[in-house]
């Protein structure tokens, strides 16, 4: 029995997360809100890495589908990583928009609708 190095394990996780089966499972889990893992909390580091790569490849496949990049980036991990790095540098994320939730902009303050109710006794 061969003991795998961390790099070998990461390559296996990356290859699995790039595959159609796990990409479909990931997309269904997002849309149908079901669990990929039995444990909901306290994920292992391997589970976190796997979820990270699932998200990474989901974003990459979405960009390929939207013709933002050619599928030639899938030929090598260096191309994949380079494109993602380039994309982050070209389109910086505006932190102020991340904090705004459009669904909650018109909701009154919590002290007026939660705590000032007529209570039943």
**pLDDT (0 to 100) of residue 38:** 85
Q: Where are the domains of the chain?
A: 6-93
| Model confidence pLDDT, tens digit, residues 54-93 | 999 999 999 999 998 999 999 999 999 999 998 888 765 5
Distance CA 75, CA 17 (A): 15
DSSP state string for 6-63: HHHHHHHHHHHHHSHHHHHHHHHHHHHT--SSS-SSS--HHHHHHHHHHHHHHHHHHH
Taking every pair of Cα atoms in the chain, the longest distance, rounded to a whole number of angstroms, is 69
Say how many C-beta atoms besides its own lie within 10 A of residue 92's C-beta. Answer: 7
| Model confidence pLDDT, tens digit, residues 24-36 | 999 999 888 888 8
């Amino acid at each position: 029995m061969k003991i795998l190095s961390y790099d070998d394990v990461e390559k296996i996780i990356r290859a699995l997360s790039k595959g159609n089966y796990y990409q479909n499972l990931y997309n269904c889990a997002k849309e149908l809100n079901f669990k990929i893992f039995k444990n909901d909390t306290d994920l292992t580091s391997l589970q976190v890495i796997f979820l990270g790569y699932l998200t990474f490849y989901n974003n990459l496949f979405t960009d390929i589908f939207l013709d933002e990049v050619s599928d030639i980036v899938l030929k090598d991990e260096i191309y994949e990583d380079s494109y993602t790095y380039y994309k982050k540098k070209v389109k910086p994320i505006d932190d102020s928009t991340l904090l705004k939730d459009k669904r909650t902009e018109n909701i009154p303050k919590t002290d007026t609708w939660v705590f000032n109710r007529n209570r039943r006794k």
